[in-house]
Amino acid sequence: MPEDDCSISQNLIEEKLTNLNNYYLQRGLSHEDLFNVAFPETASKPKKSLKTHIIIYTAIATLLISILYNCNAFSFVYGIRCIIPNNYFIWEATRPISDCSFCSTLTEAIELSNVTREEFEPYAYSSKPIIVRGAFLHWPAMKKFSWKFFKELYASVEGSYKSVDQECQFLHFKSDFISIRDVFAMSEARVQNLANEKSWYVGWGNCHPVILQEMRKFYPKPHFLPADAEFPHKDYIFMGFDDGATMHLDYINRLMWQAQLQGSKIWKLVPPPECQKICKPVEFQIGPGDAVLLDTRVWYHATAIPNNQFSLSVQSEYG
């Protein structure tokens, strides 16, 4: 086609399209409407509402959190699981609200000594923090238990390491240990927390029947606990230096008792949020042979080991 003829055709097409464009604009259509008709594949799609975005992002976040929890990813982030195997958020959200009667008149822990079962009975299920001074000084475990004792015990029982990994629970706190094997593989220098060695503090549940049987040869059930109380088939050992557990609640079925076998330990207790206007925080220190009895389901609690001491304690539940 000659160039002049082409120019004429282009002008004619432009004129007709302009007239057509004006025709539809006069009848109420917008430029965007005409563009969408001319180029449907690039037409703007309806925008999602803010509500739709929130629903989508919430669903993705929920899915992500569930996956992370199933992989136990948060346990390492917290550095503390205590008696909390998984799903901290759900437990916290569904925790029964306390009526604060257990702490409203309390200013410090209740201290007892030489207590009998009958004398202990009024306090047993009061949820008040109780110290029984020197309660376990006669236990053979006071002298027998050590890092070396447990290392040799675990090495002698088939399936013991696996039981901690899969059933009993290992608590690394702020240490770099991943499992009980790592704890028993550390050097003697680190065990003793010598200069330039990295400090450590760990805890673990002992639920392997043979391990539990061997441990319990060196301590009985606390003599002052109720005769009809139920006890779990798992006892915890906590040992190490410096920082213990950070502030947390335990999601367990019973009340906790802990025997301080070596060194001292500082306990810091805070009432649950609904009681913080009525109740006061409580702090105390215990030493070798002392017992602590605490409802760790209602008292937020943290522990620390003073003055680079080595602390070793055994813990279980009753109820």
Range in contact with Fe ion (rule: CB under 5 A) among 31-39, 45-53, 84-92, 244-252: 244-252
Q: At what angle do helices 3-26 and 31-38 cross, to 10 degrees?
A: 130
One character per residue 274-313, x = contact with Fe ion (rule: CB under 5 A): ----------------------x-----------------
Task: Give residue number: closest CB to Fe ion.
Answer: 82
Q: Which of 112, 127, 168, 250 binds Fe ion (CB under 5 A)?
A: 250
One character per residue 107-126, x = contact with Fe ion (rule: CB under 5 A): --------------------
Q: Which of 75, 81, 82, 290 binds Fe ion (CB under 5 A)?
A: 82
Does residue number 317 form part of the binding site for Fe ion (CB under 5 A)? no
- Closest CB 54 distance from Fe ion, rounded Å: 36
- Closer residue to Fe ion in complex, CB, 290/317: 317
- Burial letters for 73-83: b for 16+ Cβ neighbours within 10 Å, e otherwise? ebbeeeebbbb
Range in contact with Fe ion (rule: CB under 5 A) among 25-33, 42-50, 250-258, 273-281: 250-258
Site for Fe ion in 158-187 (CB under 5 A): none
Closest C-alpha to 220, from 272, 164, 291: 291
- Closest CB 82 distance from Fe ion, rounded Å: 4
Footprint on this chain of Fe ion (rule: CB under 5 A):
82, 250, 296
